[in-house]
Amino acid sequence: MKSLLHITNGDSFTTTLKSLPLKGDIITWREMLCEGKTLCNVGSESFWKTRFEFLSKNYKVTKSWFVEKTLKEYRSLCNHKQQDQIVLWFEYDLFCQINMLAVLSWLKTHRRHAEISLVCSGNEDGTDRLYGLGELTHEQLMTLYEKRIKLTQDDIEYADYVWQLYCSDNPIRLENLSSFQDFQFTYLSEAVKAHLKRFPTIRNGLNEIENTVLQIASEGTSGSQRELVGNILRNQGRYGFGDTQYERVLHKMKPLFTSFNPVKLSRKGKQVLEGTTNHYASIRDADTYLGGALKYSFLYNSDSGRILKL
């Protein structure tokens, strides 16, 4: 009998997985590597130090919480050395896909001889709708498990390569990737495109997420900040962010609103949305990273879909 280890995308799905008729230990990957600075060497002391500094500064994460929730689970992963089959459970969105790349990069180095397979939810019913693991029934999850993708060494090498590019200081290298179809990552290409759209646009200095926030706010359907966040979550496309991430976005965009209760754009907010005013100089932050790249050192051209270095 081969021994099994499951690595999941978060606590919510870990609870679900425990109720499925599957053997094996479970490790929960508790990170949000789609935000803040990342280093290539996943699991190193410098990697975790960089991550804690970001989470502490931006999400008020305490050292004790970080040690208890993230580092203890990571150490547990390090101690699971005997399993010869490892199953990854992730989703289609940017949040999950970046975490998946990091885990595969770590596995490439530390679990070279394990058989690694991937269960990835997304397009489940032939419609345009994409599903998270938590939206599927137990029966659907078991079907996905039975059809899980056994990753080849080439797949794992490629995931590690994309992770290295994500952690590099120049996102143009990611933009030039064109070989996604040669590997078994159905949703990675679109996730990378979503990532590149997080750099500020030439048009108004806001990125795709920030422009979506303004657009939804301008529609007048959000009576409060809570309602606005709910509307954003339902219309966020491939990002897979949570409410706390959008609350942080709103905090940064505060000057473009006169009120969050009810939600009202300021005059400048309306001008930025219309593209008659550029907000780049006001929102620019010299210490904001997306992966290994400084967010405000690059601009995204919405017309050509290309990144420009400043």
Tokens 């070279």 sit on residue: 112
Average pLDDT over residues 112-116: 95
Q: Does 223 share its domain with 119? A: no
The answer to whether position 202 is within a domain reads: no
Do 220 and 293 share a structural domain? Answer: yes
Same domain, 231 and 158: no
Q: Are residues 261 and 143 in the same domain?
A: no
CB atoms within 10 A of CB 294: 18
In degrees, to the nearest 5, what angle opens at C-alpha 126 toward C-alphas 122 and 131?
25
State the CATH number of the domain containing residue 9: 3.40.1360.10
Q: Is 37 helix (H, G, I), strand (E, B) or coil?
A: strand
In a domain, 12, yes or no: yes
Asked if residue 195 belongs to a domain, the reply is: no
pLDDT of residue 123: 95
- Pair of tokens at residue 249: 């976005």
Say whether pLDDT at 221 is over 90: no
> Residue 64 belongs to what domain range?
4-185
Under the banding of pLDDT at 50, 70 and 90, the label for residue 220 is: confident
Lowest mean pLDDT among 9-13, 69-73, 98-102, 218-222: 218-222
Domain presence at residue 197: no
DSSP 8-state class, residue 181: G
**Widest Cα–Cα separation across the chain:** 66
Residues in the chain, how many?
A: 310
- pLDDT surpasses 80 at 193: yes
pLDDT of residue 56: 97
Statement to judge: residues 43 and 150 lie in one domain: yes
Question: In this structure, what are the phi and psi dihedrals at residue 54, rounded to the nearest 5 degrees?
Answer: -65, -50
How many structural domains compose the chain? 2
Q: Are residues 31 and 121 in the same domain?
A: yes
The reply to whether 194 falls in a domain is no
Residue found under tokens 């009120």: 259
pLDDT in tens, 18-57: 999 999 999 999 999 999 999 999 999 999 999 999 999 9
Residues 14 and 115 both lie in one domain: yes
My answer on whether 219 and 181 are in the same domain is no
Q: Compare 2 and 17 and report the one with higher pLDDT.
A: 17
Q: Note whether residue 203 is domain-resident.
A: no
| pLDDT bucket at 126, cuts 50 / 70 / 90 | confident
Q: Categorize the per-residue pLDDT at 213 as very low, low, confident or very high, splitting at 50, 70 and 90.
A: very high
**Is residue 107 included in any domain, yes or no?**
yes
Question: What's the pLDDT at 178?
Answer: 84
Which of 152, 185, 218 terminates a domain? The answer is: 185
Look up residue 166 and give its amino acid: Y
Q: Are residues 14 and 132 in the same domain?
A: yes
Q: Which of 185, 200, 221 marks a domain boundary?
A: 185
Asked if residue 169 and residue 224 are part of one domain, the reply reads: no
pLDDT of residue 1: 54
Residue 21 lies inside a defined structural domain of this protein: yes
Mean pLDDT for the chain overall:
96
For range 285-300, the mean pLDDT: 97
**pLDDT, tens digit, 9 for 90 and up, residues 256-283:** 999 999 999 999 999 999 999 999 999 9
Position 179 confidence tier, pLDDT thresholds 50, 70, 90: confident
The reply to whether 154 and 13 lie within a common domain is yes
23 with 129, same domain? Answer: yes
